[in-house]
Every structure is written in C-alpha cells, then in structure tokens.
Structure 1
Amino acid sequence: MPETALNKAPYADPRRWKALIFIALAQLMVVLDATIVNIALPSAQADLNISDGNKQWVITAYALAFGGLLLFGGRIADLWGRKQTFIVGLVGFAAASALGGAAVGSGMLLGARALQGVFGALLAPSALSLLAVMFTDPKERAKAFGVFGAIAGGGGAVGLILGGVLTEYLDWRWTFFVNIPFAIVAAVGAVAVIREPTESRNPSKLDVPGVLLATSGLVALVYAFTRAESDGWTAGPTIALYVAAAVLLIAFVIVESRVKAPLLPLRVVTDRNRGGVYASLGLAVIGMFGLFLFLTYYMQIVKGYSPVETGLAFLPMVAGMITGSTQIGARLMTRVPPRLLMGPGFLVAASGMLLLTQIDLDTSYPALILPAIVLLGLGMGTAFMPAMSLATHGVEPRDAGVASAMVNTSQQVGGAIGTALLNTIAASATTAYAKGHIATASSPKLLQLQSMVHGYTAAIAWAVGILLLAAAIATTLISAGRQDGGGAVAGSGDGAVEDAVPVMAH
C-alpha cells in the first residue's frame, strides 16, 4: 500500500502545546462573541437609536455571515494554509470589533457585526483544523481536544458573564473592544509558535460554484429560521426562504458529487461517525439554547437579577463543562468508544434540563437551578470533547479544514433552529396560559410573570426531548472504537487506507 499522510509517523512539533494556548484563546473569542453582545444589546439600541425592527439584525448579521461562509472558510484554510488563514481571521476580527465599538449609527454597527461573522468564518475552522493536524498522538489529542471542547462548550456562558460586567461597569462598546487584546495576543503567539505540517495543504483549485451554492443556501436557511421567529412559520417570505435554501443546498450536493475538487467532499459527511457527530452536536446546540435563552430571561425578569448576577449564576455550569471535558472526556477517550461518552453525556445534560422544567416564580437557585446547570455542564463537557475530536477523525489532512467547518456549521444551524423553534414554542405556551387563566388572575402583573414562566418551562421540556434525540443518535449511529491508536475504527466509511491505519493517526 502506498504511503499516505494518514499512515506517516505522528506530527510532533515541540511547540504544539504553546500553540494550543493561542488556538484556544482565539476559539474563546469567537464563542464569546456569540453571546457577549446579547447582554449589551439594550444599551447599544438606546445609545444608537436602533429601532425595534432592526435590533435583531445586530445578532442576525453576525449569524448569517458566520454560518453562510463557514464551509468557504474551512476550504480556504485547506488551500491557503491553516496558520495563514488563522492569522488573517484574527486580524480581521480585531478590526471589525474596533469598528463595532466605535460605531456612531446602526448601519456602522450592523456592518461591523457582518464583518465579524466573515472573519469568524475564517478563524473558527482554521483553529479546529490546526489542532487536528498538529495533535495526532491519541493521548495528546485527548488532552488538546479536552481543552478545546471545554472552551467550545463553556465560552457562551463566559460571554454572558463578561457581557454583563462590561455593560454594567464600563460601556456596551467594550463588548466589542475586548476582542482586540484577545486577537493581538493570539496573532502574535500564532506567528511565533504555530508550525503547520506542510504536507497537510490541499493543492486543488477552489470550487467556485460550490462556494456560491453553499454560502447562499446556508444564508437562506439561517435567515429562514430568523424570519420564522418574527413572522411565523407559515408566512410567505419564510416558506420562500425554506424553499430557496432546499433548492440551493440540493444543487450544492449535486455539484459536489460531480466536480473534480469539491468544496465539501461528500466523503467527509457520508462517513457514519462524522455524520453522527454533526447531527448530534447540532441537536445538542438546539437544546443548549433552551438554557441560555430562557434561563437568562427568567433570572433577570422574574428573579430580578442584574446582568452581572445573571452571568455569575452561569459560572457553575462553566465549571461543570471544564470538568466534564478535561477530567472525564479527556481521561476516558482513549479507554472507551466515543458513543459511550457522548450518549451518556447528552443524557446527563438532559437530566439537568429536566430539572429546569420545574422552575416557578419562587424557585430557589441553590436548591434547583444550581444542580440543574451543573448536571448540564458536566454532560455537555463530557459529550463535546470526544465529538470535537471524532469530527476530524479519519479525514485526510487536506480535508481537515472543511471537516472542522462542518462542526461549526452544524452548531450554527442548530443555534438558528433553536432560537426560532424554542422562542415560538415559548410564545405560544405563554399566550395560551394567559388566555386560560385571565379570569382567575389576582393581578395582571402576576399573570404576566406566571405566563412567561409557563412558556419557558414548555420550551425547556422540548429541549429535553431534543437532547434525548441527540443521545440516541450518538449511541446508535457512531460506531468508532476507542481512540487509543491501537487499531482500526469500526464502521468507518472512508476506504481501505483508513481501515488499515491506527485510530486518529493522520
């Protein structure tokens, strides 16, 4: 059998652990930005006179650019070089953040958010794929992905904390400016210590039709879910966007199956293990939105917490995620198959979410909310860590960037679905409860709060079901063996070469 990049000796640059610090820092910045601006949005809206109709675009502009361009960013990393793409992404993200922090009007702010999404789409897949090609020894890979998984899972909650602190004690503009030192430190560190293996480059030309179809299809899909939340699922524009997204993405699959150098080689997603990871992660993110979205509102509106108190209330979940990822997932990844970490991890997270369906107007934080979010953090951390590693397992190094982009794409689409679906469920349940109890309500204010809490618990109950589905998919679809480098992976679909080489050895 001819030697391939998959069966060479593991790549072992002596500076790879230092490189992990800067890769993790960049990933934290990207994940933070998904939630940090949410806390600051009311202040920014008032300061810049942004209308209620346009305020959602502060969030949506980032989501559309980021979600739509991820596959393109991942392939650029494969073609251009991951280190170079990583550094360009960092510098561009810092510049866009400076523009957002200095915004003097809504147009400038929205443009800055879109630019953040563009450069984030370069940064996120290049960060994950750098890990994939730099850490090929199974035990080292487990540790590296443990750190990365903890950040990917817990960064959103850290964003809520940091957003609250910056907004309350400084100014909303600092939720943008805070990215600049992150990016500078990560870029300088990347230049100094990251050494990408040169044989992992992809010499192919860029698949321009694939880029256009994938980007427009993903933008249409993410925007469709955004419109569904505001206009309704059966509104004409919403349905038209879904139809357009379906047509564009089907055309994309057809083109990818026929071109010589596809943007997304279908072998990346048709492997049952990677397909299982993408599906279960996307569903898990939908479930996570049930927590962030409604528990944030519950704490601030019903319990009267300040933004800082709300952020601090999420800290035990971050601690749970770090513990689950670095102490449970990383230690067991080389001993048990990934499905035995992912499936139980999602079940533990679902049990924490189930506790949150019991919240009411006077629920105690220490007695119910605290154990619930710790369980959710532990479960998600344990599941995310092997998922991140398995998502790039068995992929030829030249495809590592686009395989990494698929991880981010599944999470981004999951987030868009989660926001629209769970908000719609909560709104419907709130309205129904208010109508059914208006005759017996002691006061309009009390009825309003009771209706809101009922809506939150209804949506969270759906999130429990979605997490159970993620657990079922992870357990049944993923068939990879333990990631110890000692043998072939069961159920792999990438061909004879992959079946003949050690697990995780790129």
Structure 2
Amino acid sequence: MSYRRASLYIVCTASFLSVLDLFIVNVALPAIQAGIHGTNGDGQMIMALYLLGHAIFLITGARMGDYYGHKKIFIWSMLLFTLASACCAAAQTATQLNTGRFLQGAFAAFMVPQSIAFIQLLFPEQHERSKALGVYGAIGGIASVTGQSLGGLLPEIAGWRWLFIVNLPIGLIAVIIAKSYLEEPAPTIKGKPDYAGILLLSSGLMALIYPLIRGRETAWPLWSIILIPVSLLLLTLFTFSQRKKDGLIDLQLFRNRDFNIGLGAVVAYFIVQDSYFFMNTMMLQLGMGLSSGLTGIYFVAQGSGFVIAALYSIKLVAVYGKRILQTGVLLMIAMLLMHILFITTSAYLFVVILFLYGLGCGAVLPSLLTLSLRKIPVSLAATAAGTYVTFQQISIALGICITGGLFLQLLGDTPTWQQWLQAYRSATGVNIFFLVIVCYLLARLKRT
C-alpha cells in the first residue's frame, strides 16, 4: 500500500469516530437515559451537546491546524476525543455524561478538519482528490451503518457504556500510527491566532445553535428568542472582523461559486439527513413499539445501501458529474414518498424502501463534499473543510428544530396512532420539500 493511500485511511479515522458517535447514540437514547436515570430533557441533551460542541469549534479547529501543524492538532484532538469517550463511559450522572458529550463534540471539531486538509495536501490533483474525498465520505457512511447497528445491539448485549468504550482502541491505535507514520506539513500561517475572531465566532454560534436545539423543548422561553438576533449581530461583527489579513476565515473562500452553491445544498440536505433518523427512531420504537435492536437492524438496511452507493458513486461522478447526485436526490424523494405510503405495511417491503433510500443518500453525500471543495486552493483546504462541516452541523440543528419540531408538535403529549401517522407523514413531506431545494441547487452547479 502506498504512503498516500495508507495516510488517507489513518486520517479517515477522524471521520469514522465523529460520525460513529453521532449515530451510535441516536438509536440507543432510551437505554442511555434509563441507565443514568435521566429525564427526557437529559436524553435530548446527549445528542444536542455533542452537536453543539462540534459546530462551535469546527472553524477554529481548522485554523489551528494552519497555525500549529495539521499532524500535531490531529494527534492531540484524537487523544483528547478518546479521553472524553472514556469519561462518557464512566459517567454516573446525566451532568457527567453530557459534559463528556460536549467535550467529545469539541475535540471532534478539531480532528475532522485536519483529516480533510491532509487529503487536500496528499492529493493535489483534482481527479485523485475527488476519489480520496469519495473514500472519506464512504468511510463516514460505514461509520453510520456501524453506529446504527451497535447502537441497537450493544445496550441489549453488553450495556450502554460499551457505546463509548468501543472508541478507546480505535482512537489509541490511530494516535500511535499517526505519530509514527504521518508526515507533518509545514504550518501555512505564521503569527498568533485570531483570538478575538475565535471569541466572536464561538459566541455567535453558541447563541444561534443552542436555542435552536433547546428552545423547542422548553416552549421557546424569552431567552431563546433573544439569543437568536444576538447571534446574528455577533456573527455580523465576526464577518467584518475577518476583512483583516490572516483572520480566522479568509473571505476569498466565498468568492468561489461552486463552494457557495455547495454550502446551500449542504444546508438543505442536512436539514433532512438527521431529522430523518430522529423521526424514524421515534416512530419505530415509540410509535410502533419495536426494540432498539430491531430498529438498529432496520437502519443497517439503509446504511448498507449508503455504503454501496458511496463506493460506486466515486467512480461514476468522475464520468457523469453532478447527474449522479441529482439521480440520488430523486431516488431519496421517491423513497420518502414510499415511507409515507408503506411504513405500516410489510416489514420486508419497508427494509427494501430503506435500502433504496440509502442508495440515494450514498450517491449524494460523499460527492457533495467533493464538488463543493473541488476548486478550493490547498492553502484554504482546512478552513473550507471547517466552514463546510460547520454549516452541516448548523443544518442538523435546524432540521431537528424545523422538521423534528413539527413532528413533535403534531404528536402532542399523549398521541393516538392516527396522530403518529399524521405527524410522521407531514414532517416527511417537509423533508421532501428540502430535497427539492437540493435538486435545484445541484442544477446550478457548473457541469462537471
């Protein structure tokens, strides 16, 4: 195996672990909540705080690699992520677990952009880089399948703490191999980081994302309404502060048309992606009474389709370009219509629908990253990656707020079976609308 190929798999452990820890908890939330004797609010924060820590520090984490070296930041953030996972596994209370989850998300925000920066540096030719980014996306898909299956099975077999223990050998092995094997690219920026920019950006993202996640659960108290315009003010001040040289974000990044369109498509796509899992987990377990293990098996069907399509779409996108992504989105829309019509019918039919939906996702997601970053200069690779994934995380919060909020609002406190069906079908219809927006934005990308 060549050095570049081996290095690609090493740095992709960051994507694997960060995605794994999102999906492995998603299916297992009822078991974790019971294990720590937590409230419904505690259970919801297990997901929310991971997303919050991830979104707040992604751009900062990307820039730290430019200042201090991508290898150094990758190794330290991977080590600290592993330590935070151990803290989650050892947690005795909801507060301890949620603190560990926030730290997991924060350290993941430092390690993930380094992996994408390494890909840009290891594969400077656009054709090779597209394939490498496709592998990166496919590994994320494998992590989602693994997370969904382990999240359903581990609590029943070994207990919920093993959801976090599985990270320890992977993280430690990745640190040891990376330290010995990866070559350290020279830092691309000299001087001190933009600490004022870090403070403005982190505060602005916190003020935006936290009320989006928590506001709906607490009936939108006054503080949640006030924080959103405050966040827009802070983010506006941050944008003006970045006009100086060597800020946290180089604003020339947003002069790239494909990158801007890609960001718009990412927002619409990820509003759908995680609200889909949120709604289907609730529908299958609470609405239809399935066990977490069986729910995990259902999601494995979806994830298997994702992995197969992701692996093949890497080659197909190189030949047919964005048409592969457009086909994938149309397949997702068709299968969501099938969800609405057939979720209560034969289990075998629903597994087929989930598999086909996964095929659509796998045709879109890995290559959406590729098309968005394909013309970004290597010097902006880490910043572009951090910005891309930050928009992704904000969109996840928006999806839970918009689609998930509608779903829960229609359910009410003590839903009947008809209310479950109405809420599920209405919210799935909203997700179809956002996928139509993804289709439109893909049509605006330059032909590849």
Instruction: Report the Cα offset of residue 25 of structure 1.
Output: 2.6
Instruction: Say whether residues 1:336 and 2:324 are aligned partners.
Output: no
Matched positions, count: 448
Instruction: Say whether residues 1:380 and 2:366 are aligned partners.
Output: no
Identity level (%): 27
CA distance in 2: counterparts of 1:216 and 1:229, whole angstroms: 20
Which among 264, 287, 290 is matched to residue 272 of structure 2? 287
Which among 45, 64, 74 is matched to residue 57 of structure 1? 45
Instruction: Say whether residues 1:419 and 2:405 are aligned partners.
Output: no
Counterpart of 2:188, as a letter, is R
Post-superposition CA distance 1:373-422 (Å, at most 9, x none): 22322222122222222333332323211111112111111110111111
User: Which has a greater percent of helix?
Assistant: 2
Seen in structure 2, the aligned counterparts of structure 1 residues 55 and 385 have a Cα distance that, compared at 3 Å, is closer
Instruction: Say whether residues 1:254 and 2:240 are aligned partners.
Output: yes
8 Å CA contact 1:134–1:196 kept in 2: the answer is: no
Instruction: Report the Cα offset of residue 87 of structure 1.
Output: 0.9
CA distance in 2: counterparts of 1:48 and 1:297, whole angstroms: 20
Instruction: Report the Cα offset of residue 67 of structure 1.
Output: 0.7
Post-superposition CA distance 1:167-212 (Å, at most 9, x none): 11001111111111110122222223322443x7333531112111
CA distance in 2: counterparts of 1:473 and 1:196, whole angstroms: 37
8 Å CA contact 1:90–1:187 kept in 2: the answer is: yes
More deviation, 339-348/211-220:
339-348
Q: What is the DSSP-based 3-state SS (H/G/I as helix, E as strand, rest coil) of the residue aligned with 1:49? A: coil
- Equivalent position of 2:209 in the other structure: 222
Instruction: Report the Cα offset of residue 423 of structure 1.
Output: 1.9
Instruction: Say whether residues 1:39 and 2:30 are aligned partners.
Output: no
More deviation, 50-59/244-253:
50-59
CA distance in 1: counterparts of 2:357 and 2:255, whole angstroms: 30
TM-score by length of 2: 0.94
CA distance in 2: counterparts of 1:51 and 1:430, whole angstroms: 19
Instruction: Say whether residues 1:365 and 2:347 are aligned partners.
Output: yes
- Equivalent position of 1:440 in the other structure: none
Seen in structure 2, the aligned counterparts of structure 1 residues 307 and 236 have a Cα distance that, compared at 3 Å, is same
CA distance in 2: counterparts of 1:47 and 1:319, whole angstroms: 29
Counterpart of 1:74, as a letter, is A
Q: What is the DSSP-based 3-state SS (H/G/I as helix, E as strand, rest coil) of the residue aligned with 2:189? A: coil
8 Å CA contact 1:290–1:460 kept in 2: the answer is: no
Unaligned stretches of 5+ residues in structure 1: 1-12, 435-443, 483-506
Instruction: Say whether residues 1:110 and 2:78 are aligned partners.
Output: no
Instruction: Report the Cα offset of residue 120 of structure 1.
Output: 0.7
Q: What is the DSSP-based 3-state SS (H/G/I as helix, E as strand, rest coil) of the residue aligned with 2:388? A: helix
Seen in structure 2, the aligned counterparts of structure 1 residues 255 and 50 have a Cα distance that, compared at 3 Å, is same
- Equivalent position of 2:382 in the other structure: 401
Instruction: Report the Cα offset of residue 232 of structure 1.
Output: 3.8
RMSD: 2.1
CA distance in 2: counterparts of 1:146 and 1:319, whole angstroms: 16
- Equivalent position of 2:443 in the other structure: 475
More deviation, 243-252/383-392:
383-392
Residue correspondence of structure 1 range 203-242 to structure 2 within 5 A: 203-232=190-219, 235-242=221-228
CA distance in 2: counterparts of 1:106 and 1:302, whole angstroms: 25
CA distance in 2: counterparts of 1:230 and 1:171, whole angstroms: 28
Post-superposition CA distance 1:140-192 (Å, at most 9, x none): 32332222112334533431211111111001111111111110122222223
- Equivalent position of 2:177 in the other structure: 189
Q: What is the DSSP-based 3-state SS (H/G/I as helix, E as strand, rest coil) of the residue aligned with 1:263? A: coil
- Equivalent position of 1:493 in the other structure: none
Q: What is the DSSP-based 3-state SS (H/G/I as helix, E as strand, rest coil) of the residue aligned with 2:319? A: coil
Post-superposition CA distance 1:337-383 (Å, at most 9, x none): 3x3233332222222222112145x322222x233322322222122
8 Å CA contact 2:71–2:185 kept in 1: the answer is: no
Seen in structure 2, the aligned counterparts of structure 1 residues 391 and 186 have a Cα distance that, compared at 3 Å, is farther
Which among 268, 293, 297 is matched to residue 253 of structure 2? 268
- Equivalent position of 1:17 in the other structure: 5
Counterpart of 1:48, as a letter, is I
Residue correspondence of structure 1 range 121-160 to structure 2 within 5 A: 121-153=109-141, 155-160=143-148
- Equivalent position of 1:500 in the other structure: none
Instruction: Say whether residues 1:463 and 2:446 are aligned partners.
Output: no
8 Å CA contact 1:24–1:148 kept in 2: the answer is: yes
Seen in structure 2, the aligned counterparts of structure 1 residues 377 and 55 have a Cα distance that, compared at 3 Å, is closer
- Equivalent position of 1:316 in the other structure: 301
8 Å CA contact 2:45–2:98 kept in 1: the answer is: yes
- Equivalent position of 1:96 in the other structure: 84
8 Å CA contact 1:210–1:256 kept in 2: the answer is: yes
- Equivalent position of 1:346 in the other structure: 329
8 Å CA contact 2:130–2:374 kept in 1: the answer is: no
CA distance in 1: counterparts of 2:334 and 2:175, whole angstroms: 40
Post-superposition CA distance 1:261-288 (Å, at most 9, x none): 1211111133110111111112111111
CA distance in 1: counterparts of 2:76 and 2:310, whole angstroms: 29
CA distance in 1: counterparts of 2:206 and 2:353, whole angstroms: 34
Name the larger-Rg structure. 1
CA distance in 1: counterparts of 2:42 and 2:391, whole angstroms: 26
Seen in structure 2, the aligned counterparts of structure 1 residues 44 and 374 have a Cα distance that, compared at 3 Å, is closer
Seen in structure 2, the aligned counterparts of structure 1 residues 96 and 300 have a Cα distance that, compared at 3 Å, is same
- Equivalent position of 1:490 in the other structure: none
8 Å CA contact 1:130–1:196 kept in 2: the answer is: no
